[in-house]
Amino acid sequence: MYTGFGCPMGFVATVGIGFAGALLCCVFAPAQHNPEPPDSGTTSKQSSIDQDAFDKRLKRILRESTTLFRFIEGVRFENRRRECYHEPKINLPTASYCRILKHEGTTIYTCEWENRKTVNDWYPRLVASIERSLGPEWNKRPGPWQTGQQTVFARDGKATVQVIREQKAAVVHVVILPDGASQEGIRTDLPLLPDFFHPKSPAPVCSVTPTSVHLLSARYEQAQELQKPSADRVIERNFLTAKLARTGLQ
């Protein structure tokens, strides 16, 4: 079942984000982020890409897209709203962090590069590296994004690769959508990690409201008072008994 950030339930380690959410946010995010080079470093060094390593990992992730990235799912992070995502076992080189989540109804793999000093440099470098890895068989479509620009690489029968530059947020995303998803890429902004670790509204404690509990109790009492119930009423009574037992009222 997928909820929120979208994660299939599976046999994988899960980290719950509750009381220690703030602590985990401070510990987990830096652990995934690559250390920022000293200010004395040049822009080209800060945003350099090892093409061989990038090529190997990108092609591996593209192969894994045929199974919705299930075999490279790592730790599953879940917050108090039951929203979740997976930390992948394979990250694209130099990325700040990567995630596997469900967005717009599709399971996607995405990595982000966050650095206000080099964000303008990362976008063209990533587009060029992806273009070299994919080859001329892929259709390249540059275009505008809501708050920046994007380039989409698509090919029939293959995954879609989308590079998004969010100018205001100073973030570059690389999004990989499996074959069968939209070749236009995603249309809406990806959820941010701060929103995940600190959701604005609390999770519902129970799906049964006081009003529905009262109505269920009244119907249950009526069923109990029947001295000679018909076959249909027996079925109804058994159903109500089971339903109330699940709500903890019996």
pLDDT in tens, 174-212: 999 999 999 999 999 888 777 777 777 654 443 444 444
pLDDT in tens, 231-250: 555 566 666 666 666 655 54
| The model's pTM | 0.66
Q: Please tell me whether residues 32 and 109 are part of one structural domain.
A: yes
pLDDT of 155 > 90? The answer is yes
**pLDDT value at position 36?**
37
Q: Looking at the 3D structure of the chain, how many domains does it have? A: 2
Work out the pLDDT band at 10, boundaries 50, 70, 90.
very low
The span from the CA of 108 to the CA of 228, in Å, is: 57
**Of the given ranges (17-21, 56-60, 131-135, 238-242), which has the lowest mean pLDDT?**
17-21
CA dihedral 61, 69, 65, 104 (to 10 degrees): -120
- Please provide the DSSP assignment of the chain as one string: ---TT-----SS-EEEESTTHHHHHHHHHHHHSPPPPPTTS-HHHHT---HHHHHHHHHHHHHHGGGTTGGGEEEEEEETTS-EEEEESS--TT-SEEEEEEETTEEEEEEEEE-TTTHHHHHHHHHHHHHHHH-TTSEEEEEEETTEEEEEEE-TTS-EEEEEEETTTTEEEEEEE-TTS-TT---SPPPPHHHHHS-SSPPPS-SS-HHHHHHHHHHHHHHHH-SS--HHHHHHHHHHHHHHHHHT--
**pLDDT value at position 209?**
43
Q: Please tell me whether residues 109 and 170 are part of one structural domain.
A: yes
Please give the average per-residue pLDDT across 129-152, as a whole number: 94
Give Cα separations from 185 to 78, 104, 118, 170 (angstroms): 25, 10, 24, 20
Q: Which residue has the higher pLDDT, 85 or 199?
A: 85
Find the domain containing 133 and state its range.
14-197
Please give the average per-residue pLDDT across 162-174, as a whole number: 90
Q: Is residue 49 part of a domain?
A: yes
Work out the pLDDT band at 29, boundaries 50, 70, 90.
very low
**pLDDT value at position 69?**
97
User: Could you give the percent of the chain with pLDDT greater than 70?
Assistant: 60
The radius of gyration of the chain's CA atoms, rounded to the nearest angstrom, is: 24
pLDDT of 104 > 60? The answer is yes
Q: Please tell me whether residues 22 and 130 are part of one structural domain.
A: yes
Between β-strands 148-154 and 14-17, what pairing exists: parallel, antiparallel or unpaired? unpaired
Q: Please tell me whether residues 162 and 227 are part of one structural domain.
A: no
Q: Please tell me whether residues 147 and 104 are part of one structural domain.
A: yes
Q: Please tell me whether residues 189 and 222 are part of one structural domain.
A: no
Q: Please tell me whether residues 214 and 189 are part of one structural domain.
A: no
**pLDDT value at position 238?**
67
